[in-house]
């Protein structure tokens, strides 16, 4: 058997070998270029949507909330513009999650981890925090010097301003988040008058500090160590995925300008990388495909009068074969391939099925629970009575009157203290509410079998829904 000995590092005390490398703080340098502008654009749109969406109104009718996107935890409903989901429709959330996952797989197969590089909240907020940091403490070298230097008044002031602004952004993030869970204008008025109750306050504080910690301190550590997506992304790439790659054939041997390949070993691509890696070492799991190194290298190539694209989005296939230039890149990428067709097909099936289900779903539901204790009672006139709890979900925003009936031709039904005994009874349910009724069903005793199928139906002139239950009749042995 092979024995593996792990030798502790010389500076480590014997028996205390750490399995984790100490974090090296990253100081990403400022960069400008097409991809940086694209990232600013994504950041502006996504942050704008995040802060504005809770204020968008959507008229649903009297009594209904008029907030376009609302997670109504009190009434356990989710509103998204014209869509309104009830707890019974939780499968739509499963469908949405499935669609989101499939969409992510599809995009990753085509363009690598662009979600991570451009649209993931961790990236967007980290970018914003870094922007503030650069404005207060300066670019990479200045920040490094400031951190390494002594605690002067200048350093303390800058740090205080930076952390205050970070906390303010965190507060705005947490503040906006709670607006998705309650009527935003009402909650805002509560905030201004200091009448906020515990749950929104808790979430605001929690999100303020989690944003502050994640975007201010954890940063690339979240992408590298905490997010599982970084680990299984490799399974989604193929040799045709467009990922940020270094053109080794053109760049090596690196060195002084004009003496070897096109890479002058200036390290600009490493300096701007938000995860601190050197893309020239090949594809690495830390890379979030943000292409800031592309912008950095393109700027160097421009200065040297060389063609752009030493680092660029390219496929593994092209990188290895060296068969494409930047100009004909899109002609050489196979966007349509079995994997992308497969994802697109499933996305379409799930998406259209969900949409069809949403558009055609009934606007009412009936649910019946039969009382089990006792299973039945025998009345003084010899009839047998069974009791049921009936729930009727009124998914419309109008008052509805439902006529309840059963499929039994003999016997009567009634709701104690509300209706008299009859073959059918009317019940009312408020808009957007669930009506709960205790329904008693009486039938003359028959010597037939103990369990008789019973269908309870609720209907209006427009809607109808039924529930199959049973009626228990005493048998000889009962």
The reply on whether position 31 binds ligand SF4 by CB under 6 A is: no
Nearer to ligand SF4, 286 or 466 (CB): 286
Q: What minimum distance in Å lies between the beta carbon of 9 and ligand SF4?
A: 28
Nearest of 415, 380, 409 to residue 471 by alpha carbon: 409
The reply on whether position 114 binds ligand SF4 by CB under 6 A is: no
Burial class (CB within 10 angstroms; exposed 0-12, middle 13-18, buried 19+) of 152: exposed
Select from 17-25, 59-67, 153-161, 261-269 the region that touches ligand SF4 (CB under 6 A): 261-269
Listed in order, strand segments (DSSP E) in 299-416 are 311-314, 364-370, 377-378, 384-394, 400-406, 412-414
Q: What minimum distance in Å lies between the beta carbon of 256 and ligand SF4?
A: 11
The reply on whether position 279 binds ligand SF4 by CB under 6 A is: yes
Select from 258-266, 383-391, 392-400, 432-440 the region that touches ligand SF4 (CB under 6 A): 258-266
Nearer to ligand SF4, 124 or 288 (CB): 288
**Which residue from 73, 88, 201, 267 is in contact with ligand SF4, where contact means CB under 6 A?**
267
The reply on whether position 300 binds ligand SF4 by CB under 6 A is: yes
Say how many Å lie between the first and final Cα of the chain, rounded.
72
The reply on whether position 292 binds ligand SF4 by CB under 6 A is: yes
The reply on whether position 287 binds ligand SF4 by CB under 6 A is: yes
Q: What minimum distance in Å lies between the beta carbon of 129 and ligand SF4?
A: 17
The reply on whether position 124 binds ligand SF4 by CB under 6 A is: no
For 33: left if phi > 0, alpha if psi spans -120 to 50, otherwise beta; the answer is left
The reply on whether position 244 binds ligand SF4 by CB under 6 A is: yes
Tokens of 208: 């303020």
Pairing state of beta strands 412-414 and 434-443? antiparallel
CA dihedral (12, 16, 18, 23) positive or negative: negative
Pairing state of beta strands 434-443 and 384-394? antiparallel
3-class SS of residue 367: strand
CA dist., res. 416 & res. 424, Å (int): 14
Q: What minimum distance in Å lies between the beta carbon of 112 and ligand SF4?
A: 9
The reply on whether position 245 binds ligand SF4 by CB under 6 A is: no
Please give the residues from 310 up to 369 whose contact with ligand SF4 meets the rule CB under 6 A: 310-311
**Which residue from 184, 207, 215, 296 is in contact with ligand SF4, where contact means CB under 6 A?**
296
Q: How many CB atoms lie within 10 A of CB 53?
A: 15
The reply on whether position 268 binds ligand SF4 by CB under 6 A is: yes
CA dist., res. 112 & res. 369, Å (int): 51
Site for ligand SF4, rule CB under 6 A: 244, 251, 263-269, 273-275, 277, 279-280, 287-293, 296-297, 300, 310-311
């Amino acid at each position: 058997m092979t024995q593996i000995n792990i030798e502790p590092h010389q500076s480590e005390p014997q028996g205390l070998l750490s399995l984790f490398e100490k974090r090296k703080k990253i100081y990403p340098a400022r960069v400008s270029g097409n991809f940086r502008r694209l990232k600013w654009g994504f950041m502006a749109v996504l942050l704008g949507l995040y802060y504005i969406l809770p204020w968008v109104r959507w008229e649903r009718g009297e009594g209904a909330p008029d907030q376009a996107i609302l997670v109504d935890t009190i009434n356990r409903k989710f509103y998204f513009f014209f869509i309104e989901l009830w707890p019974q429709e939780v499968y739509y959330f499963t469908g949405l999650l499935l669609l989101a996952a499939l969409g992510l797989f599809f995009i990753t197969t085509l363009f690598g981890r662009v979600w991570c590089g451009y649209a993931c909240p961790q990236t967007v907020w980290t970018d914003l925090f870094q922007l503030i940091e650069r404005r207060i403490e300066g670019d990479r070298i200045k920040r490094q010097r400031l951190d390494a230097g002594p605690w002067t008044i200048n350093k303390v002031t800058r740090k205080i301003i930076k952390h205050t602004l970070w906390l303010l952004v965190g507060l705005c993030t947490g503040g906006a988040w709670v607006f998705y869970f309650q009527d935003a204008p009402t909650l805002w008025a509560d905030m201004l008058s200091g009448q906020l109750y515990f749950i929104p306050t808790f979430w605001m504080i929690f999100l303020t500090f989690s944003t502050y910690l994640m975007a201010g301190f954890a940063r690339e550590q979240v992408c590298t160590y905490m997010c599982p997506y970084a680990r299984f992304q490799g399974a989604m790439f193929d040799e045709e995925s467009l990922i940020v790659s270094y053109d080794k054939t053109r760049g090596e041997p690196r060195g002084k300008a004009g003496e070897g390949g096109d890479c002058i070993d200036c390290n600009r691509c490493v300096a701007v990388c938000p995860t601190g890696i050197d893309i020239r070492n090949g594809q690495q799991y830390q890379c979030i495909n943000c292409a800031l190194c592309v912008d950095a290298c393109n700027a160097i190539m421009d200065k040297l009068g060389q063609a752009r694209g030493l680092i660029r989005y390219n496929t593994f296939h092209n990188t290895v074969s060296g068969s494409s230039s930047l100009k004909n890149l899109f002609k050489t990428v196979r966007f349509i391939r079995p994997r992308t067709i497969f994802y697109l097909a499933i996305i379409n099936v799930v998406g259209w099925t969900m949409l069809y289900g949403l558009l055609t779903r009934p606007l009412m539901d009936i649910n019946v629970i039969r009382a089990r204790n006792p299973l039945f009672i025998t009345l003084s006139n010899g009839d047998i009575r069974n009791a049921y709890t009936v729930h009727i979900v009124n998914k419309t925003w109008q008052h509805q009157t439902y006529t309840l009936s059963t499929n039994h031709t003999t016997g009567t039904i009634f709701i104690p203290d509300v209706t008299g005994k009859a073959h059918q009874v009317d019940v009312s349910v408020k808009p957007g509410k669930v009506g709960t009724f205790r329904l008693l069903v009486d039938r003359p005793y028959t010597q037939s079998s103990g369990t008789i199928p019973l269908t309870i139906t609720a209907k209006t002139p427009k809607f109808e829904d039924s529930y199959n239950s049973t009626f228990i009749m005493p048998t000889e042995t009962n």
